[in-house]
Structure formats: structure tokens, C-alpha cells
Amino acid sequence: MVKKVAWGAGHGINTPGKRSPEGEREWSFNNIVVTEGIKHLKSNYENVEVLRLDDSTGKRDVPLRERTNKANAWGADVYVSTHHNANTGKWGNWTGTETYTYLGNHPGAEALASKVHKRIVKAYGLRDRGLKKADFHVLRETKMDAILTEGGYMDSTIDIKKLRDKEVLKKAGRAIADGIADYLNLKPEKGGSKPSKGKGTYTVKKGDTLWDIAKDHGMTVKQLKKLNNLKSDTIYPGQKLKVKGARSKPSKPKSFKVGQKVTVKKSASKFTTGESIASFVKGNSYKVKQVKSDQVLLDGIMSWVRKKDVY
């Protein structure tokens, strides 16, 4: 039996007030989570349909009543509204992830919330603010089990670091999708989320790109995609890929400090997200804003670059 999931990113890109103190839009954060989550749900589980409730371009803030009416008329089994929080609108040190259900006792929605919440807390790596109750329209006016997630504070100096990391947001999307699948007892798609184990496979790590993996295993990106039946260049941490040859021993990452000025190599090709590095970025210098094990966040372009691609 096909299960129906109604899922929407909160607000629109131009909704007044829904942004970080530096002007980053809540919908943009929400959209990354929802887009990745829907893709993961449809690609990795059988017998599921998804109805996206917001405007996928973000240009229109779809009214709440329109969203709930559409979900009710469609006969959705669950309703998920994805948001990111705000407190005062000015930078502070509040932090955390929380998930809401409607006031009163609603065992189904509470079970869904529990399965989703524990996964997104892990995905964001932020404080667990728990399961909460609220009289939100999308929770009150829906006929199916409904939840609303708040993935972290846009005006938090702690949380914004996570929200600016697309891989964290994508991980949160997959976490919500897996929580939904668990609640609805969806079966994994054959040949989808459970690739064969053993020799000849590589587990994707955060920051990996198809180009890097192919190069390390003596393959071309075209060969790697064909071997794994990939239709796009999108991959995610934990994903297992079939490969040929042995992975070369990685070199020790260079050491950089926050505030240090570095230059992007002209040979650099991809950001850690897999997006191409524009020509105007190459050869230019930027200050390091954050440092991770094998990558740095560059101020000015606010993008993560592998340490091997800067000097």
C-alpha cells in the first residue's frame, strides 16, 4: 500500500523577519533540508509518494491554510513542516533543536515526532531541546499525524555554523526522511539504500566529491557514475559506492588557523559541496573563518574548500 507524505519548507524566501541577523533567509535553510529529504525518501524507499507544500522556488510564501487544505484533500498519511528557529533576531548563544506536535494527547503524531527528533538531533549535533506542544495552524488543521521541526537558531552564534553547512542541512533532510520511513514502516528500495558490502566498495565521507573518489581509485567520474547508476553528481556521507582499485593513502591535512590569510589554488576545481569553484575565486586570497579536519571555511565567499586546494 502506497503511503503519502506531505512535506513543506516553512515560509518563502522573502517572508519578512524570517532571516538571520546577517540576512540569510530561513526558507533557504529549510529548502535544502526538504529538497534532500524528499529525494532521499523517494530514492531509497518503496511505495511512497511525496507532496511538496511550499513553493519550491521560494518566491511565494504559500498560505498555511492552502498548505493544510491541500494535504487534507490529498489524503496524506503524515504532514511535516520544516523550519529553523529565531529568538531575538540579534546574535546570542541560545541553541538547540526541537520538534512540535499539537496540544493534547496525539499518540500517532508523538510517535512520528519521536522517531524524527532523535535523528535530527544527531544530524545537527546541537542541544536537544526536546519534544514540545504548540497551537500551530499546520498541527491543528491537519487531519493526519503532523509535526513541525525547528532545526536550530538562525540568530545563534552556535547554531548558525551548522546552518551554513549544506552537508549538515542535507544530513538533517535525510534524517527526517528516515524517521518518516521508520514511522510508516516503509521498506528500503531494492538496490537503493543497501548496496553490496565487501571489497570493491567505498563509504562516502563528509566533504568527498565524485571527482576525488574517482581519482583515488584510478577511475573517471563517468566510469564511477556508470558503475553505480548515478544520475547526478550528488552523494552523501555514509553512502556506499562500488569502486575499482585501492584507495591511495591520504596525505596529512595541512594546518591552518582562524584569521589566517590563504590563497585558493588555480588548480582547485570543486568546493567540498561538489559545486565548481568559479574562475574569479581561484588565485584570490581570503581569511579563514572556520577550520575542520580537512577543510576550511573562507570568509568573503562563505564556502568550504579542501585544505589541499589552498596555500
C-alpha dihedral sign at 226, 231, 233, 235: negative
Q: What is the pLDDT of residues 187-219, one digit of tens each?
A: 987 654 443 333 477 888 766 778 778 877 778
User: Using 50, 70 and 90 to split pLDDT, how confident is the model at 311?
Assistant: confident
Contact 96, 155 (CB under 8 A): no
User: Using 50, 70 and 90 to split pLDDT, how confident is the model at 95?
Assistant: very high
Q: What is the pLDDT of residues 14-56, one digit of tens each?
A: 999 999 999 999 999 999 999 999 999 998 999 999 999 999 9
Q: What is the DSSP string of 31-96?
A: HHHHHHHHHHHHHHBSSEEEEE-S-TTSSS---HHHHHHHHHHHT-SEEEEEEEE-SSSS-B----
Sequence-distant (6+) residues with CB within 8 A of 291 are 256, 257, 258, 297
Q: What is the pLDDT of residues 128-158, one digit of tens each?
A: 999 999 999 999 999 999 999 999 999 999 9
What is this structure's pTM?
0.64
